[in-house]
Amino acid sequence: MKRLTVPRIRGRKVDGVTADPLVMLTAYTARQAQLLDAHCDLLLVGDSLGQVIYGLPSTVPVTMDMMANHAAAVVRGSYHAVVVVDMPFGAYEASPQLAFESAATLLKASGAAAVKLEGGEAMAETVAFLTQRGIPVMGHVGLTPQAVNMLGGYMARGRSDAEADKIVSDARTLDEAGAFAVVVEGVVEPIAIAVTEAIACPTIGIGASARCDGQVLVTEDMLGMFERVPRFVKKYENIAETIENTVKQYAAEVQDRSFPTAEQTYQPKG
């Protein structure tokens, strides 16, 4: 299987129609990437790894090194999906030049194909700067977690008319600036529809209804690694329970010396 490309992802939406919705999940490690790769069009090395892997309170403290290292692992573990790396907070907002340096660093360190950054109109110049210089950019509008300190929490966006209009115009600006896709997070369904109809490139929804051109979730969330997840997450599994039960059994077998058995034990030859 040959690796998909950014133009092929972009090309999945033709004249406003996406016949074949885009499948995206987060991946942070090589083995996780291996397991997801064949089933996904895109793997996102999300800065959600701050909470999921590092136990941080938000994505704000996530560093370039964290993103580069996990992105390299995900590229090593995959050969089919397009790997997109989140630009961490602080690495791109100040100027297009800073954004280019950071994006180039991430792509060179990892071999990933594209970066994702949060924000609308304020990032349009940066998106144009990067795309004109060879770096594909995925946008991210609506609930933008890096802005948690401005937003005051992770509630759904676009409930007021002003906010709704802003999200649609933000997405339109990113599309016009050259973004190849836009993540739409945590918005009411009419906004997801409006954005998807307003822009030429595909929308990828998370908590943004079924009316986007694709969907993304945090893999650990959909596998049921965490008890508490946002309402928009469907828990397809309860992996936390599986892990707990397995570890409980291991601990009991170590304590009653029923593990290891002869099968797991080396003996001298002859």
For ligand KIV, the binding residues (CB under 6 A) are: 26, 44, 46-48, 86, 183, 185, 206, 216, 218
Cα–Cα distances in Å, from 2 out to 54, 78, 79, 112?
32, 11, 7, 15
Q: How far is the CB of 206 from ligand KIV (least distance, A)?
A: 5
Residue 185 is among the residues annotated as catalytic for this protein: yes
Strand 22-26 versus strand 42-45 pairing type: parallel
Which residue ranges are tagged as binding site for Mg(2+)? 47, 86, 118
| Residue whose entry in the numeric block shows the structure tokens 């937003």 | 151
Rank residues 122 and 252 by Cβ distance to ligand KIV and give the closer one.
122
Q: Which two tokens stand for residue 58?
A: 């938000």
Smallest gap from Cβ 259 to Na ion, in A, equals 40
Q: Binding-site residues for 3-methyl-2-oxobutanoate, please? A: 47-48, 86, 116
| 48 vs 126 by CB, closer to ligand KIV | 48
Contacts of range 147-150, beta carbons closer than 8 Å, 24 or more positions apart: 147/118, 147/119, 148/58, 148/59, 148/60, 149/60
Name residues contacting Na ion, limited to 19-58 (CB under 5 A). Answer: 46-47
Q: Is 86 in the site for Na ion (CB under 5 A)?
A: yes
Residues 200, 155, 189, 114, Cα dihedral to 10°: 20
Q: Which of 185, 197, 237, 263 is catalytic?
A: 185
By annotation, the residues acting in catalysis are 185
Contact residues for Na ion, defined by CB under 5 A:
46-47, 86
